[in-house]
Structure 1
Amino acid sequence: MIIPEEVAKKTDDVYKILVEANQKDHNIWMEYVFLSWQWWFCFILSIIPWVLWWKYRKKESTNRLLLGAFFTIFISMFLDSFGTELGYWDYRYELIPFLPAFFPWDLSLLPVAFLLLVQIKPNISPILKAIFYAFLSSLIGEPFFEWLGFYKSINWNHLYSLPIQFIIFLFGYFLVTSTSFEEVKRR
């Protein structure tokens, strides 16, 4: 074995503890969360924003906009999972208990808010939009979900999210508005 036996044993022991903790968490989810009003609220927040965006989107820009949305989803889920694993925050009501991230927030609310801001008033400065996005998500969204009891900040201050959300919006914006896309030629 390439890995020293002592390291493998310690890793196995920690893994067993994690599996046990996850099973307990899943039992709590099945008993208290699944199909509760909080679960249904998460379900609705995961679906309705996308349905509304799909109905009112700028149809000729759908693919380009979705690229920005997927970028936002990827970064948000990565950072959310990272913060959860490091113990900065935790979620009490998850749509799916197998993800350490808050599904409605990362996969629906943040990307759809991004999409709306990119589409609405295209002549407004992306810096102003990024400030608004960061303020909306960090100082309104996070405290609102904490107040509802969905989110619990442990070692995190909402102000820390401001520059992160600002940067996420700007990167996504410049990705979506880039003119460097090459046209695919068909044979």
Structure 2
Amino acid sequence: MSNDQLHEIQQKAAQFELNRWLLSGVFTWQWWFLFAGFIIPWIILFKFIDRKRAAPIWFFGLLVLIITSFTDDLGAEIGMWVYPIKLLPYSLISFPFDFSLVPVAQMLIYQYCKTWKIFLFALLIQAGIFAAVGEPFSIWAETITYYGWNYAYSFLFYIFTGTLSRAFVSYWINGRSRS
């Protein structure tokens, strides 16, 4: 297949995706749910963030966001899930989850749970709620459809993401400051 043929297929797919979004996605109740899921967590974070510790909290959140969005893009690319209703038409990832709900929830856990023991306990609760309540609701609402993915994987993913991000931030702040 030539580059021109590939480009033509991509253009047709983009037009199809825009038409699908305009006809059956934007301004549906599911779209408003995604919109609220994108905006409300940031409002909560801005209200409650510890401004004295803002830099490490933002650093932690950025790591969570990077891991989550990369993993989401990869999973969508290989067909593990699709987003029938999207906040924006041209995206494999789910902005409300990758750029808001997951990072903000974990940033608040990072902020308030200062010891590893309490952090991991809170992370387990967050992972359980997101995997056992949030994701089934999202499937019911048809904002995501899984193909070969399940809630147990998500549960482990949330724990892995938060733990890895905290370990990296702890090393960066504590380990590097001794150097």
What TM bracket, shorter-length normalisation? 0.7 to 0.9
SS in 2 for 1:180: helix
RMSD: 2.1
Q: Which structure has the bigger radius of gyration?
A: 1
For the Cα contact (< 8 Å) 1:49–1:109, is it kept in 2? Answer: yes
Q: What letter corresponds to residue 168 of structure 1 in structure 2?
A: T
1:85 to 32, 55, 77: 77
Q: What is the deviation of 1:23?
A: 1.3
Give, in whole Å, the separation in 2 of the partners of 1:167 and 1:65.
Answer: 17
> Secondary structure of 2:129's partner?
helix
Percent sequence identity is 28
Structure 1 CA distance for aligned equivalents of residues 115 and 67 of structure 2? 26
150, 155, 158: which one aligns with 1:162: 155
Superimposed CA distance per residue, residues 76-120 of structure 1 (whole angstroms, 9 cap, x where no aligned partner): 111101111111111111111111011100000000110111122
Give the CA deviation at 1:12.
Answer: 4.2
Residue 55 of structure 1, CA deviation: 0.8
Q: Does the C-alpha gap of structure 1 residues 155 and 12 become closer, same or farther in structure 2, counting only changes over 3 Å?
A: farther
Distance 2:162 2:50 in 1: 19
Matching residue of 2:138? 145
> Hey, what's the Cα distance between the residues in 2 that align with 1:181 and 1:61?
17
Equivalent residues of 1:76, 1:106 under 8 A apart: yes
* SS of residue matched to 2:175: coil
SS in 2 for 1:81: helix
The range that moved more, 66-75 or 173-182, is: 173-182
Change (3 A) 1:123 1:95: same
Which is further off, 172-181 or 87-96? Answer: 172-181
TM-score normalised by length of structure 1: 0.84
Deviation of 1:16 (Å): 2.7
Q: State which of 61, 70, 77 in structure 2 corresponds to 1:69.
A: 61
CA distance in 2, matches of 1:104, 1:181: 33
Distance in 2 between the 1:74 and 1:67 partners? 11
The number of residues matched between the two structures is: 175
Task: Measure the CA separation in 1 of the matches of 2:20 and 2:26.
Answer: 9
Give the letter for the 2:40 counterpart: I
Q: Alignment partner for residue 19 of structure 2, among 22, 27, 32?
A: 27
Offset, 1:155: 1.9
What is residue 129 of structure 2 aligned with on the other side?
A: 136
2:45 equivalent to 1:53: yes
Residue 180 (structure 1) aligns with: 175
The answer (yes or no) to whether the contact 2:64–2:161 under 8 Å persists in 1 is yes
2:95 is equivalent to residue 103 of structure 1:
yes
Distance 1:127 1:44 in 2: 27
- List gaps (5 residues or longer) in structure 2: none
Q: Is the 8 A contact 2:30 2:141 kept in 1?
A: no
Moved more, 114-123 or 148-157: 114-123
Q: Which runs of 5+ in 1 are unaligned?
A: 1-7, 183-187
